Chain A
Amino acid sequence: MRTSIDWEALSLKAVFGLISLITIFILVAPTVVILILSFTGEEALRFPPASYSLRWYAALLDANELQDAFVISIKVAAITTLVSVVLAVAAALAIARSRSAFARALETLFMSPLILPALAFGFASLMMFSLMGLRPSIMTLSIGHIIVCAPFVLRTTLASLAQLDPALTDCSTSLGASDAYTFRKITLPLISRGVISGGFIAFMASFDNVPVSLFLQDTRTQVLPIYLWDIIQNQLDSRAASACGVIVIMTIILMMMMERVAGFSRFIK
């Protein structure tokens, strides 16, 4: 047995450990800064705040435009999630069972919105809807969001289906169960974690989407991230901090719930 210290291994661990620490700090810092800043008692946004209060949270109660934007964002995200889950889970069932080149091509097509610049797609949709004579509405917003959010559901559902033992569904079918019954009783319960995780990612992606919403909204249907983007860019209103605080708290609670229900972080890779 060698008893001397392996300095080389130690130096590798030290360097990698140090960089990791810095990276983790940088990853977490903004969330912490927003949370603390949202409780500032001052007029100006300075970190760290000189005094603390709930005044900017209270101010959210009279912020009508902000509340309207929040409601529209929630509506769009709910419609987007619902439609994305139904369409993408069905498509995932078809794609996962097939080994053909056509199925791979379909998968590539359904995944491509994640690689293409979303802004170009948003602009293209605007032109199409306006040539069709459709005005921006919650419907146009939702359609655009479904295109960029359905890939998330497809991906997590495919990952779950890949781990599903085909013998289980074969058994069910050979014992005389209909396809629909097998899906409800066998497949769906076994892939539910992937579906729920995908639905959650789709919901948050829609709630946060700017590049597509920029083109598909109008003043009546302004979404929350664009409203916030606007006030941060133009007047740096302190209510932006408390609104961001609400979003952060909401995100953390939802994410912990999803982690418990669906082991969600495993699916995001």
Chain B
Amino acid sequence: MANATAMRAHEWQLALPLALFFALFFAAPLLLLIWISFQADRQMTGGLGLAQYVAFLGDRLNLQVLIDTLLLGVKATCLCLVAGYPLAWLCTRVSARFQALLIFLIVLPIVTSVVVRTFAWIVILGRRGMVNEAIVALGLSSQPLHLLFSETGVIIVLTQVQMPLMVLPLITALQRIDPNLANASSALGAGAWRTFFKITLPLSMPGVIAGIILTYTACVSAFVTQSLIGGSRLLYMPMLIFQQAMDLQNWPFAAAASMLFTVSVLLIVGLLVALSRSRAAQLYG
């Protein structure tokens, strides 16, 4: 036993360097962020108070930016789920070779620069881009649509940019489902759609929720895509924080905005985690 304790103490030391690094350069800055967000005035003369939070929440425009950002995440995440689920399903039903190719195509966007992919969309969605020329040529609209610098455009691009984060956990979850369950369901007379909605989809919920968490947090804080596709007319929280911090040098206000944004995102993630726990409890007892 003495040996085991010595071993454990020795093993803990291995986590120490990273823990120390995180304490110094992750925990400390975040604590500083909290402290600065409670500064009463922007010169940071030392008085503490809720002035920055009151200023943010008291202004309808700021509040609207926060709500827009959180909703943008919801819309893009829903689209990712609807478009990504069938692809994940397909990946678990094809030969190993074809699956490897599909996964390569899904993973490639994750490692390709976000700036690069967003740039491609500017060319595709622009007023004289491919999509608009197709729409006009097909007679769907008499003039080009404003896809760039619109919320629709931001949602479309976010969906593509963050899709892999949704599809990969879904593939993992779908692969874990025992195929006998679906077979049993159809042997008992349920049709393919019913089997999907009653068996496959509920059993893949852990993957769905994991995918939603990853996609949602990535979408709301996707600074590059939001600013390049949204343009200057559409303002979301990351850009608001950046402008307040760097252009206006109003650190306490930017800190309060960061806190409100982070806490909102964490609350939504916490809610999803609780939901997935209760789902798991329901499914597996």
A and B together in one complex: yes
- A45, A110, A207: the one within 8 Å of B113 (CB): A207
Residues of A within 8 A of B33 (CB): 120, 123-124, 127
Residues of A within 8 A of B122 (CB): 232, 236
Is B178 at the interface (CB under 8 A from chain A)? no
Give the distance in Å from the alpha carbon of A119 to the alpha carbon of B254 in the complex: 11
Question: What is the minimal beta-carbon distance from A255 to any residue of chain B, in angstroms?
Answer: 6
Report B114-144 CB contacts with A as 1/0, cut-off 8 Å: 1111111111100011100000000000000
A228/B25 in contact, CB under 8 A? no
Closest-by-CB residue of B relative to A251 is: B112
Question: What is the minimal beta-carbon distance from A201 to any residue of chain B, in angstroms?
Answer: 7
A121/B29 in contact, CB under 8 A? yes
Give the distance in Å from the alpha carbon of A259 to the alpha carbon of B105 in the complex: 12
Is A28 at the interface (CB under 8 A from chain B)? yes
Q: How many residues of B contact A (CB 8 A)?
A: 91
B111/A117 in contact, CB under 8 A? no
Question: What is the minimal beta-carbon distance from B269 to any residue of chain A, in angstroms?
Answer: 6
Given contact pairs A210-B114, A251-B111, A117 touches B262 in the complex (Cβ within 8 A): yes
Q: Within residues 227 to 258 of chain A, which ones have a CB less than 8 A from any CB in chain B? A: 228-229, 232-233, 236, 240-241, 244, 247-248, 251-252, 254-255
B104/A147 in contact, CB under 8 A? no
Q: Which of B16-24, B51-59, B60-68, B274-282 contacts A (4 or more CB under 8 A)?
A: B16-24
B111/A201 in contact, CB under 8 A? yes
B262/A265 in contact, CB under 8 A? no
Residues of B within 8 A of A265 (CB): 100, 103-104, 107
B29/A22 in contact, CB under 8 A? no
Given contact pairs A98-B11, A143-B25, A23 touches B163 in the complex (Cβ within 8 A): yes
- A8, A30, A125: the one within 8 Å of B117 (CB): A30
Q: How many residues of A contact B (CB 8 A)?
A: 92
Is A74 at the interface (CB under 8 A from chain B)? no
Closest-by-CB residue of B relative to A225 is: B115
Given contact pairs A119-B242, A127-B32, A225 touches B113 in the complex (Cβ within 8 A): yes
Question: What is the minimal beta-carbon distance from A108 to any residue of chain B, in angstroms?
Answer: 11
Q: Known A-B contacts: A117-B262, A232-B115. Give 20 more (CB < 8 A).
A: A16-B90, A20-B90, A23-B86, A26-B159, A30-B109, A47-B130, A87-B21, A90-B18, A91-B15, A93-B14, A117-B221, A123-B254, A124-B258, A127-B32, A128-B29, A144-B25, A229-B224, A244-B113, A247-B113, A247-B116
What are 15 sample pairs from A and B whose C-beta atoms fall under 8 A apart?
Answer: A6-B192, A17-B86, A33-B130, A34-B119, A90-B14, A91-B17, A94-B13, A98-B11, A106-B15, A117-B262, A120-B262, A124-B33, A247-B112, A247-B113, A251-B112
Which residues in A have some Cβ–Cβ distance to B below 8 Å?
A: 6, 8-9, 11-13, 15-17, 19-20, 22-24, 26-31, 33-34, 37, 45-47, 86-88, 90-91, 93-95, 97-98, 103, 106, 109-110, 113-121, 123-128, 131, 143-144, 146-147, 150, 154, 179, 200-201, 204, 207-208, 210-211, 214-215, 225, 228-229, 232-233, 236, 240-241, 244, 247-248, 251-252, 254-255, 259, 264-265, 268-269
Which residues in B have some Cβ–Cβ distance to A below 8 Å?
A: 8, 10-15, 17-19, 21-22, 25-26, 28-30, 32-33, 36, 82-84, 86-87, 89-90, 100, 102-124, 128-130, 159-160, 163-164, 168-169, 171-172, 191-193, 196, 213-214, 217, 220-221, 223-224, 227-228, 237-238, 241-242, 245-246, 251, 254-255, 258-259, 261-262, 265-266, 269
